[in-house]
Structure 1
Amino acid sequence: MSARHPVRVEDRLRFDSIIDARSPAEYALDHIPGAINCPVLNDEERAIVGTLYKQVGAFEARRVGGAMVAANLAQHLRTHFADRPERWRPLVYCWRGGMRSGAMVNWMRLVGWDAQQLAGGYKSWRRHVIARLTEHAPQLQLRVLCGATGSAKTRVLQALAAQGQQVLDLEGFARHRGSVLGAWPGVAQPSQTGFETQIVDALDRLDTQRPIYIEAESARIGRLNVPQPLVQRLRASPCIEICADTDTRLAYLLRDYANLADDPALLAQQLGTLKELHGRQVIAQWQAWAQARELAPLFAQLMALHYDPLYERSQSRNLYRWEQRQSVQAHDLSDAAISALAQTIAALPDPVAASADDSPSP
């Protein structure tokens, strides 16, 4: 590929490696999937060069920064790139496709590798992500899994994936279960841009002409926003409701959320955020149960007073095809039963085809 023709994001898979030349902090926030981080300036060096540029001038920033870049490139040549063959073809990017990636590409070409620079850098990747979400979300053949809290929707989604069905696991990408108690223990959520990158990367691997199972979600998962084109497609898609009785759901919750008893103080603090909805007296009782690690009565009341009423209000309001939903019964939510439930869901008649068959003849 000639250097006279700008390399686009769509060309990235033609290369042997994708190299992110930005700082580790920039890379941690978001990066092109599969890219390795080989910074030409680390976080501290980038801050020093930026300060020099503002306080002294561009020349001094380039002089000091150039020495840092040269040292870092030499280190990469001795380590990360030491075993690369002569015909290795890397694609390099930085923030805008400017000096940082340009410096790395120039040195690589001096060595003899056919290195190329991504036109527009990381910013072109962000434009690609936004375009993919805007253009392709309306075409997705989504099947939306619904069910009251404790109906094992996420586990069913995982079972569907294990059985070869296409799934889009938004809570997995967000590292959050989507409820007030949904934070993953000891795991931080990704950045908003990183979340969106994971979604687009997953969509790029799916066949948009086949059904894609997804869990019913609100517009926010923890502190992250689900991209609006995907929210709108989800709300307009066919629904499948998992129906389980209260005892079955409570037994499942006590297994799946058992980790909440590990930190009673944190659990009590999280429950405090519901004070405006349920009042001081109710929350005080819930916090007392949390402190005593008595999850059974706590979860039973959370279901009865908080989650179930919220579910009843939100489904018909947010899911436009709720009245036409398909339903499956779940009398058991053990691992084996969840696997069987996933098979039942996958075998349901295609609601889109059924809707077309029921439409009046012209």
Structure 2
Amino acid sequence: MTARGQPAVARPKCNGSADRAQTGAANRAGFPQAGVEVASRARIHRACDNFSLPADLFVSTSLKSLLVSLEKAGDFDEIIDVRTPLEFAEDHIPGALNAPVLSNEERVLVGTTYRQVSPFEAARIGAALVARNIAHHLETTFADRPRSWRPLIYCWRGGKRSGSMTTVFSMVGWPARQLDGGYKSYRRATVAALDTLPKTFTYIALVGPTGSGKTRLLSALHQAGAQTLDLEALASHRGSLLGAWAGVPQPSQKHFDTLLATALRELDPRRPVFVEAESRRIGSVALPLALLETFHRGACVEVRSSCEDRAAFLLHDYAHLFDDPDSLKGQLQRMIGLHSRERVAGWQQLVDENRRAELAHELIERHYDPAYARSSHQHFVQLPNALQLNFRPNDADVVDQAKTLLAQLESHAFAAI
């Protein structure tokens, strides 16, 4: 056994006169072929005599022995995602490094060849591309990794892409391993975690109409030492119809799930978690039902602010919308169905005339407040018993206001949660 508990593989000596005997012994021992025929193996041995190469350079350890489960991912120095950049961008294991063995375009080429020519031709082209890309990574990305470096490698489902890099890295001498089931095993684990993990926490929901400063209060509570879960930060969206972040795309649903599961694992279940009231969807992503149902049943703080404070808050937080009037008018156009065409046209005219304050008041009174009245008591069953906070979101003392709230909760019935 090696120092790391791996089976030691005896290397046949490079002796051209013993090629046939060595080849027969390897076959009797069940030595993996790794795509190299017996006669070809003998030629490799002869070449070793001339070039001083180890005879087993092109002979891989059984891939099955290199598989590890997701539970052991923490045992490795680095996690390598060999999928395409597009696949990686959609979602990946947290902390993974993307070292694709096929580029986006190369994967399309291989897939097209598979469908239109033949599986064999696709495999031939793919193997050449994968070999070339792995060689490039060895000469660049991984050129400085020490002999003891332990990488865990994965692709979509634990197939040929990650198997190829794992095999080559093992030949180099690194104790590389392949994630059994690939990204799909990680995705299944994430979905399963989001069915159970949210239920292990006690939540206090910050409930209030748009513009009352709930997100700012949540940040202030975090600064005051409370435990918080900022769903809008994870979703890169404010949650309202006009809540898109300027120039920041939302994560995919899969990546949002990963971010959420990661954030939940960092929380302490012995302490309450403050969370901003949300509906099922935050922009284009959806919250898991287990989380939504748990904090909808939990304790609440009703955040109240004056109409003037709310309008000023919206003008500050949504100021970027007026920098692109056409985009803002397009977003208002989506409100047709919730409001009459005439009313929406009036709001669009306010945009054209740069009457920001008037538009903010109109949206508060005619859109946001009625929507809040319809949904809040329906979703948050503990809202009638909520502690009420008169919050001034535009003042400089928001952290002090948050500390006052925490002190009130300590002496309130919330002390029991």
Relative to the length of structure 2, the TM-score reads 0.81
Q: What's the secondary structure of 1:101's corresponding residue?
A: helix
2:329 corresponds to 1:263: no
Distance 1:202 1:352 in 2: 28
The aligned counterpart of 1:55 is 116
Q: Is the 8 A contact 1:268 1:290 kept in 2?
A: yes
- Aligned match of 2:406 in 346, 349, 352? 346
State which drifts further: 297-306 or 160-169.
160-169
The aligned counterpart of 2:250 is 189
Distance 2:155 2:66 in 1: 18
- Aligned match of 2:227 in 116, 141, 166? 166
Q: Is the 8 A contact 1:264 1:292 kept in 2?
A: no
Q: Is the 8 A contact 1:138 1:229 kept in 2?
A: yes
The aligned counterpart of 1:360 is none
Deviation at 1:5, TM superposition (A): 7.8
- Aligned match of 2:389 in 325, 328, 332? 328
Distance 2:208 2:101 in 1: 49
Deviation at 1:162, TM superposition (A): 2.9
Distance 1:352 1:217 in 2: 24
Deviation at 1:6, TM superposition (A): 4.4
Deviation at 1:190, TM superposition (A): 1.1
Q: Is the 8 A contact 1:238 1:352 kept in 2?
A: no
Distance 1:213 1:77 in 2: 46
- Describe the superposition over 1:67-111 as per-residue Cα deviations: whole angstroms up to 9, x where unpaired: 100100000001110011111111111000111101111111111
Q: Is the 8 A contact 2:134 2:165 kept in 1?
A: yes
Q: Is the 8 A contact 2:83 2:155 kept in 1?
A: yes
Q: Is the 8 A contact 2:198 2:290 kept in 1?
A: yes
- Aligned match of 2:216 in 145, 155, 158? 155
Deviation at 1:353, TM superposition (A): 5.8
The aligned counterpart of 2:177 is 116
Distance 1:36 1:68 in 2: 20
Relative to the length of structure 1, the TM-score reads 0.93
The aligned counterpart of 1:91 is 152
Deviation at 1:9, TM superposition (A): 2.2
Where structure 1 has 5 or more consecutive residues not aligned to the other structure, the ranges are 357-362
Deviation at 1:248, TM superposition (A): 1.4
Q: What's the secondary structure of 1:278's corresponding residue?
A: coil
The aligned counterpart of 1:34 is 95
Deviation at 1:164, TM superposition (A): 3.3
Distance 1:162 1:92 in 2: 38
The aligned counterpart of 1:299 is 360
Deviation at 1:335, TM superposition (A): 5.2
Q: Is the 8 A contact 1:20 1:31 kept in 2?
A: yes
State which drifts further: 75-84 or 276-285.
276-285
Deviation at 1:199, TM superposition (A): 0.2
Q: Is the 8 A contact 1:92 1:118 kept in 2?
A: yes
Query: What amino acid sits opposite 2:374 in the alignment?
Result: R
The aligned counterpart of 1:359 is none
Q: Is the 8 A contact 2:82 2:161 kept in 1?
A: yes
Q: Is the 8 A contact 1:145 1:241 kept in 2?
A: yes
Deviation at 1:253, TM superposition (A): 1.4
Distance 1:329 1:214 in 2: 18
Q: Is the 8 A contact 1:242 1:328 kept in 2?
A: yes
Distance 1:211 1:348 in 2: 15
- Aligned match of 2:282 in 221, 224, 245? 221
- Mark the CA change 1:53 to 1:335 in structure 2 (over 3 Å): closer, same or farther: farther
Distance 1:279 1:353 in 2: 43
Q: Is the 8 A contact 1:21 1:94 kept in 2?
A: yes
- Describe the superposition over 1:29-77 as per-residue Cα deviations: whole angstroms up to 9, x where unpaired: 0101111100011111111111222223222211111110010000000
User: Taking every aligned residue pair, what percent have the same amino acid on both sides?
Assistant: 46
2:101 corresponds to 1:65: no
Distance 1:211 1:5 in 2: 42
2:273 corresponds to 1:212: yes
Q: Is the 8 A contact 2:66 2:178 kept in 1?
A: no
- Mark the CA change 1:105 to 1:218 in structure 2 (over 3 Å): closer, same or farther: same
Query: What amino acid sits opposite 2:322 in the alignment?
Result: A
Deviation at 1:142, TM superposition (A): 1.3
Deviation at 1:268, TM superposition (A): 1.2
Where structure 2 has 5 or more consecutive residues not aligned to the other structure, the ranges are 7-63
Distance 1:110 1:348 in 2: 63
Query: What amino acid sits opposite 1:272 in the alignment?
Result: Q
Give the root-mean-square deviation of aligned CA atoms. 1.8
Aligned pairs for 1:307-318 within 5 A = 307-318=368-379
Distance 1:8 1:326 in 2: 47
Q: What's the secondary structure of 1:123's corresponding residue?
A: helix
Structure with max Cα Rg: 2
State which drifts further: 197-206 or 56-65.
56-65
Distance 2:89 2:395 in 1: 35
Q: Is the 8 A contact 2:203 2:295 kept in 1?
A: yes
- Mark the CA change 1:66 to 1:342 in structure 2 (over 3 Å): closer, same or farther: same
